[in-house]
Amino acid sequence: GAGVSQTPSNKVTEKGKYVELRCDPISGHTALYWYRQSLGQGPEFLIYFQGTGAADDSGLPNDRFFAVRPEGSVSTLKIQRTERGDSAVYLCASSLTPAETQYFGPGTRLLVL
Amino acid sequence: KQEVTQIPAALSVPEGENLVLNCSFTDSAIYNLQWFRQDPGKGLTSLLLIQSSQREQTSGRLNASLDKSSGRSTLYIAASQPGDSATYLCAVGFMDSNYQLIWGAGTKLIIKP
């Protein structure tokens, strides 16, 4: 179907709050990735799903970050007790299979005040 | 630690010139390399994907080469246009990185009319 979509496009929250970021991958893509990008830098890997399971979550910075993909399609990245340092653009990508081209969504711009 | 480096960080050239962007990586055991384009405030657009068994890929005015032994890739843009102005990012899939991409910081390209 259409490309990768992410909601919301922008999120402003206060320090200490909980946020959820959603990613809708391209239909049929089994692999889904979350990255985080700070200003002037390349994206930084957070977590990779193959189907419903997290195949690699080594990039999650701490236990405040958690992601799920319960039905092997839509994924939600959850951040508890947000901190100002969490402010960044959160990017989601999907690929048909691992090692194939990753297609990116437009990102969610998170600002923690 | 696997790293990806892009030089220069910024480049400004007159319209019509041919130009080369550079990407270097620290480990030759890769399964693919991708070049992306990112416009200000936007997501990432995949330009070219080179599998580890390939030496180059072409799409229109773009040509990407890969030399695993020296840990280098170049993105060649022919007959540059103002619409090519963007940040170009190189992302490498290392064999032991479980399909996550390791990213360079990007080259910000400005094509002057």
Question: Among partner residues A55, A102, A104, which is closest to B98 by beta-carbon distance?
Answer: A55
- Non-local (6+) Cβ contacts of B82 within 8 A are B15, B111, B112, B113
CA-nearest of A21, A29, A41 to A2 is A29
Q: Quote the pLDDT of residue B19.
A: 95
If you measure CA to CA, which chain B residue comes closest to A92? B43
Quick count: other Cβ atoms within 10 Å of Cβ B95?
A: 13
pLDDT of residue B69: 92
Out of A5-9, A46-50, A86-90, B25-29, pick the least confident. Answer: B25-29
Task: Give percent of chain B with pLDDT exceeding 70.
Answer: 100
**Is B35:B87 a contact under the CB 8 Å cutoff?**
no
Q: Which of B38, B34, B6, B46 is nearest to B93 (CA)?
A: B34
B65: its two tokens: 């080469």
Sign of CA dihedral B49, B52, B53, B56: positive
Per-residue pLDDT tens for A22-60? 999 999 999 999 999 998 889 999 999 999 988 889 999
> What confidence category does residue B8 fall into, taking pLDDT thresholds of 50, 70 and 90?
very high
Read off the DSSP letter of residue B100: P
pLDDT at A113: 96
* pLDDT value at residue B107: 97
Residue B56: what pLDDT? 96
Query: Chain A: which residues have CB within 8 Å of chain B?
Result: 31, 33, 35, 40-45, 48, 55-56, 58-59, 91, 93, 98-107
pLDDT of residue B96: 77
Q: Could B89 and A42 be called an inter-chain contact, meaning their C-beta atoms sit closer than 8 Å?
A: yes
A98: chain B residues, CB-CB within 8 Å: 99
Residue of A nearest to B5 (CA): A42
Q: What amino acid is encoded at B63 in this protein?
A: N
Q: Which residues pair with A84 in a beta bridge?
A: none
Is B5 at the interface with chain A, CB within 8 A?
A: no
Per-residue confidence (pLDDT) for residue A1, from 0 to 100: 53
Structure confidence at residue B76 (pLDDT)? 97
How confident is the model at residue B40, as a pLDDT?
A: 85
Find the closest chain A residue to B97 by CA distance: A56
Residue A85: Cβ within 10 Å count: 10
Select from B32, B43, B93 the Cβ nearest to the Cβ of A91: B43
Q: What DSSP string runs through A22-89? A: EEEPPTT--EEEEEEE-TTS--EEEEEEETTEEEE-TT--STTEEEE-TTSS-EEEEE-S--GGG-EE
Q: Which residues, 6+ apart, have CB-to-CB distance to B88 below 8 Å?
A: B6, B21, B35, B36, B37, B38, B47, B75, B106, B107, B109
Closest CA of chain A from B98, distance in Å? 7
